[in-house]
Amino acid sequence: MIALSVAAILAVFLLYTSIAGGGNPSISPSDLDGRSDTVQLAGVVVGPATGDAHADGLRFALEDIDPASGASVPVLYTGSVPDLFKPGRHIVVTGQLQDGTFVAEPGSMITKCPSKYAPKQSDDPA
Amino acid sequence: MPELGRAALVVTLGLCLYALIGGVVAARLGRRRLALSARNALVAAFGSTVVASAVLFAALYRSDFSFTYVARTTSEALPTPYKLSAFWGGQEGSLLLWLLVLTGFGAAAVLLNRRWTRDLVVWVVPVFGAVATFFAFLLVVVATPFATQAAPPDGAGMTPSLQNPYMLAHPPLLYLGYVGLTVPFAFAMGALLSGRTDERWLVATRRWTLVAWTALGVGQLLGAHWAYEEVGWGGYYAWDPVENAALMPWLAATAFLHSVMIQEKRGMLRIWNVSLVILAFALSLFGTFLTRSGVVNSIHSFTQSSIGPWFLAFIALTVAVSLAVLFWRLPLLRSPTRLESVVSREAAFLYNNLLLLALCLAVFWGVVYPLLSEAVRGEAVVLGRSYYDFFLRIFGLPLLLLMGIGPLIAWRRASVRSLLTTFRAPTAAALLAGVVLLLLGAGSSIPGLVAYTFSVFVATTIAMEFVRGTRARKALGAASWPAAFSSLVSRNRRRYGGYVVHASIVLLAIGIAGSSAFDSVAEGRLARGDSLQIGGYTLVYRSLDERLAANATEIRATLEVTRDGRDLGMLQAGKNAYTIEEQVSNEVGIRSDWRTGEDLFVIAEQINPDASVQFRVFVKPLVNLIWLAGLVFLLGSAITLWPDAREQRRLVSRAAEIGLPASR
Amino acid sequence: MTLALVLAALLAVAAVVVVALPFLRDPEPSSDTLDELDEEERRRLEQLEARDRSLAALKELEFDHRTGAISDEDYRTLVGPLRREVARTLQELGDGAGSSEDRSREGRPTGGRTS
């Protein structure tokens, strides 16, 4: 009886993660070349940040966290901007590459505070 | 004074090593004085850790910036309570807190149990010693809080979001929980190593496990409340790896708390229980590892620190050794008692365990999936909220229902006919509630509706139990109804305390369902005088003010709130700009309606130069039930934990019958 | 700096003393063996636990029946086997009774074992 339940649970798992596939790949700007699928882009903000996220969109550049690679991609972001956002911050944003600009899904930006215990996010539970 | 701190930690390391090695030798060879000596070493380790902690506290209090740690986590202008809370705000300090609680709990556990479980304690001491040695080693060799430098004029300050009362309570509570789980683990290992097959270790650790579990639960709720009010993104739980890090051991501990009841009543599931306690302990270590190692993408991440690999190695070692010991003692643990029927309380508890573990596994999978997919496919795939919500519903809703079924089924075997009778009233109440809710519009979210209906079912069963029990006591001759009720609860503390805890979970379920399945959100850019409508409320943006506080500039937008023409007062939302730390924090405005438990939640997302403000407003129904649930949870735990003189007498007389001393 | 060193030294000495205490207090003990439960005592403990377990189960059944959580029919089915189990555990204990007296005859401690 226990074995059956366990098997059923495992089946539910594998079914969900493989079919529904609720995940997005998490990559750096240097891996973005030519990809057109929805990805989660992780990098460091390079300023200046211009525009209004609640109007036409906030524009900034995102670079690899690893300074050696030097890849950079322009980002267009709309929606809630976390308080910690500023040039030099590590962030994660979900979206797609369109015509050379990474267009982010509204509200998908998450900032990281790398040196201490510090939760800070404006996760949009869409 | 940093030399004193460092020396104290070295002394602790030495004492813990002695407790480990001496303890093992004493246990294997049966040497009484050596066993005592090892136990003393564990207690002394607590003493020297207190000294080390005192040194750090003093340095924080004095703002002694020659301590690198103090300079990194505080600043001169920081209020004193927060200066002290910086003790656990950084990597090294939090490890020291862990060690402090661990040695404290270890010392207390072995001292309190020293007489009546002497041959059990002799093996418990080295287990504690082993875990403490690991943390002491980290503190002495890898991450010392007592590094020094040329003192800078001022410290780096504390992240503003950590400067609030929650930060004073949330981490210590979580640590009480994490470390508290070491106690049942150590006793279980002690029982296995000493070859015992009696239930002593369970009885000795029951209250410890309950306290740890309660602390972990309340700590998580505090964290959720903090995220809700302080971080202010409109929610209270984001399924972030670090949040999950505390959830997983809590789920395992919940499963353990239930299945030990089966072992207590029927002598079954011994192997299962030992495995569960190993799992809970391993998960608490894993949770600590997650929060520190930066290995998983988390908003709480630390930079890649050197601590990670050490933790991973220790977890692997602990699990391997524990399973080896379990395997070695497997023949001793097998019990002849079998599950008699799939319709029985034992079975209900087993389903409960399976569901809890399934949920735990789902969360675990979600946390490690990015790592696994990176290793296998070269690309880290992150699982989002929808993954967790799906499994929370699939496993959580049946769990909710089981909470109402389990306590009402008989042990061993229950006939289907009696089930129909017992559950007639709760089922009817639930169906009726379901229909009413549908008519009120709750059909917009099926999972929400199901959650509500199940909650009514469980609430009815709990109420029925209290009513029936009180009636029975009154029939036995209690003076009055209140007297009957209080004597009922005080004579059956575990049972009725447990019901109160279940009631708190019901409140939690209703609160979560209401605020996530039936919430609404509206956004807009408002100039002064503009209004926003949502969920029956009308908000009018009136004014923008700026004021200077001690360490920040505070900007607040004031809104006037009305509903159906009635004035509900003013609400303020805005931002704080902290000068030293050069950071901005969101200060949300929340209006709670105490009659309906609903919150009006306003975020001033962006304040524009022309004094117009981008607002984001939520209406969250029933969300305050979640915080109320926390209080009820505490009450239920307190009732269950309350010392029971009758139970003590029984244990004492049992001990006397085999010639063990009566006092603990 | 020197104060710190002095305190550290004191701490180290205190630690050593605390650890050595059992040996210092009792340098020539009559017996240094750990006071463990032997086979017989362990078995008796388990029997006691089994007895208490079945008694508690019976009591809980009565309680549930009295409050109406368990129907008369279920009660009748369950009470018989439970009572028999209680009787069995009591009998097992009874067979081992008198062990306390045996122990005192052998000169072994029968209770009040202190540390």
Q: What is the pLDDT of residue A13?
A: 75
Least confident range from A78-92, B80-94, B136-150, B521-535: namely A78-92
State whether residue B161 sits within 8 Å of chain A by CB. Answer: yes
User: Looking at the DSSP assignment, which residues form a beta bridge with residue B380?
Assistant: A26
- How many CB pairs below 8 Å do chains A and B form together? 137
Of B30, B418, B658, which has the smallest distance from its Cβ to C44's Cβ?
B658
Cβ distance C45 to B198 less than 8 Å, yes or no, reads yes
- Using CA atoms, how far apart are residues B447 and B454, in angstroms rounded to an integer? 10
**pLDDT band, very low/low/confident/very high, at B660 (cuts 50, 70, 90):** low
Q: Which residues of A touch B234 (CB under 8 A)?
A: 125
Subunits that touch chain A (at least 3 Cβ pairs < 8 angstroms)?
A: B
State whether residue C46 sits within 8 Å of chain B by CB. Answer: yes
**pLDDT band, very low/low/confident/very high, at B663 (cuts 50, 70, 90):** very low
Tokens of B249: 């051991």
- Pairwise pLDDT comparison (B13 vs A114), residue with the higher score: B13
**pLDDT band, very low/low/confident/very high, at B303 (cuts 50, 70, 90):** very low
**A vs C contact (3+ beta-carbon pairs below 8 A):** no
Least confident range from C29-38, C76-85, C106-115: namely C106-115
B566-603 pLDDT per residue, tens: 888 899 999 988 877 778 888 999 999 888 889 999 99
Please tell me which of B304-313, B378-387, C105-114 the model is most confident about, judged by mean pLDDT: B378-387
Number of domains within chain C = 1
Q: Which residues of A touch B380 (CB under 8 A)?
A: 25-27
C96-107 pLDDT per residue, tens: 554 444 544 444
User: Three-state SS for B616?
Assistant: strand
* Mutation choice for B interface testing from A38, A113, A116, A124 by most B CBs within 10 A: A116
State the nearest Cα–Cα gap between B102 and chain C, in angstroms.
18
The helix (H) or strand (E) run that includes residue B251 is helix B241-266
State whether residue B15 sits within 8 Å of chain C by CB. Answer: yes
Question: Residue range B632-638: average pLDDT?
Answer: 96
Q: What is the pLDDT of residue B618?
A: 94
Subunits that touch chain C (at least 3 Cβ pairs < 8 angstroms)?
A: B
Q: What is the pLDDT of residue B120?
A: 85
Percent of chain B with pLDDT over 70: 96
State the nearest Cα–Cα gap between A80 and chain B, in angstroms.
7
Q: Which residues of A touch B227 (CB under 8 A)?
A: 119
Q: What is the pLDDT of residue B231?
A: 80
- Using CA atoms, how far apart are residues B310 and B143, in angstroms rounded to an integer? 11
| Residue B543: burial class (beta carbons within 10 Å; 0-12, 13-18, 19+) | middle
Cβ distance A2 to B89 less than 8 Å, yes or no, reads no
Of C49, C70, C112, which has the smallest distance from its Cβ to B661's Cβ?
C112
Q: What is the pLDDT of residue B335?
A: 80
Domain segments of chain A as ranges: 24-112
Of B235, B351, B583, which has the smallest distance from its Cβ to A84's Cβ?
B583
- Answer yes or no: is pLDDT of B497 > 80: yes
Please tell me which of A45-49, A79-83, B33-37, B548-552 the model is most confident about, judged by mean pLDDT: B33-37
Q: What is the pLDDT of residue C110?
A: 45
* Mutation choice for B interface testing from A33, A66, A117 by most B CBs within 10 A: A117
- Is C90 a member of any domain? yes
Percent of chain B with pLDDT over 90: 54
- Using CA atoms, how far apart are residues B631 and B358, in angstroms rounded to an integer? 27
- Using CA atoms, how far apart are residues C94 and B237, in angstroms rounded to an integer? 58
**pLDDT band, very low/low/confident/very high, at A110 (cuts 50, 70, 90):** confident
Q: What is the pLDDT of residue B434?
A: 93
- Is C44 a member of any domain? yes
Question: Residue range B415-426: average pLDDT?
Answer: 86
**pLDDT band, very low/low/confident/very high, at B45 (cuts 50, 70, 90):** very high
Cβ distance C115 to B118 less than 8 Å, yes or no, reads yes
**Is the backbone peptide bond immediately before A48 cis, with ω within 30 degrees of 0?**
yes
Cα B26 from chain centroid (whole Å)? 36
* Mutation choice for C interface testing from B56, B650, B658 by most C CBs within 10 A: B658
- Using CA atoms, how far apart are residues B306 and B142, in angstroms rounded to an integer? 8
* Mutation choice for B interface testing from C17, C35, C79, C83 by most B CBs within 10 A: C35
- Pairwise pLDDT comparison (B28 vs B339), residue with the higher score: B28
Cβ distance B73 to A116 less than 8 Å, yes or no, reads yes
| Residue A45: burial class (beta carbons within 10 Å; 0-12, 13-18, 19+) | buried
User: Looking at the DSSP assignment, which residues form a beta bridge with residue B567?
Assistant: B562
State whether residue C77 sits within 8 Å of chain B by CB. Answer: yes
| pTM reported for the whole predicted model | 0.90
**pLDDT band, very low/low/confident/very high, at C46 (cuts 50, 70, 90):** confident
Q: What is the pLDDT of residue B144?
A: 92
- Pairwise pLDDT comparison (B515 vs A3), residue with the higher score: B515
Q: Please state the three-class secondary structure of B419-478 as a single string.
A: HHHHCHHHHHHHHHHHHHHHHCCHHHCHHHHHHHHHHHHHHHHHHHHHHHHHHHHHHCCC
Cβ distance A110 to B379 less than 8 Å, yes or no, reads no
Q: What is the pLDDT of residue C29?
A: 77
- Answer yes or no: is pLDDT of B296 > 80: no
Q: Which residues of B touch C73 (CB under 8 A)?
A: 415, 417-418
Q: What is the pLDDT of residue A2?
A: 67
Cβ distance B384 to A24 less than 8 Å, yes or no, reads yes
Tokens of B139: 């503190």
Q: Which residues of B touch A122 (CB under 8 A)?
A: 233, 586
Q: What is the pLDDT of residue B664?
A: 37
Arch. (CATH architecture) of A24-112: Beta Barrel (2.40)
Q: What is the pLDDT of residue B277?
A: 95
| Interacting residues of B441 by C-beta distance below 8 A, sequence separation 6+ | none
- Answer yes or no: is pLDDT of A47 > 90: no
Q: The domain containing residue C90 runs over which residues?
A: 38-96
- Answer yes or no: is pLDDT of B244 > 50: yes
- Is C72 a member of any domain? yes
Q: Find the largest Cα–Cα distance for chain B.
A: 84
Q: What is the pLDDT of residue C37?
A: 73
**pLDDT band, very low/low/confident/very high, at C109 (cuts 50, 70, 90):** very low
- Answer yes or no: is pLDDT of B218 > 70: yes
- Answer yes or no: is pLDDT of B315 > 90: yes
- Pairwise pLDDT comparison (B289 vs B174), residue with the higher score: B174
B460-472 pLDDT per residue, tens: 999 999 998 898 8
B423-454 pLDDT per residue, tens: 899 999 999 999 999 998 888 889 999 999 99
State whether residue B553 sits within 8 Å of chain A by CB. Answer: no
ipTM of model? 0.81
**pLDDT band, very low/low/confident/very high, at B299 (cuts 50, 70, 90):** very low
Touching A: B residues 163-222, CB under 8 Å: 171
Mean pLDDT (chain B) is: 89
Return the exposure string of C14-47: e unless at least 16 CB atoms fall within 10 Å of the residue's CB, then b: ebbebbeebeeeeeeeeebebbbbeeebbbbbbb
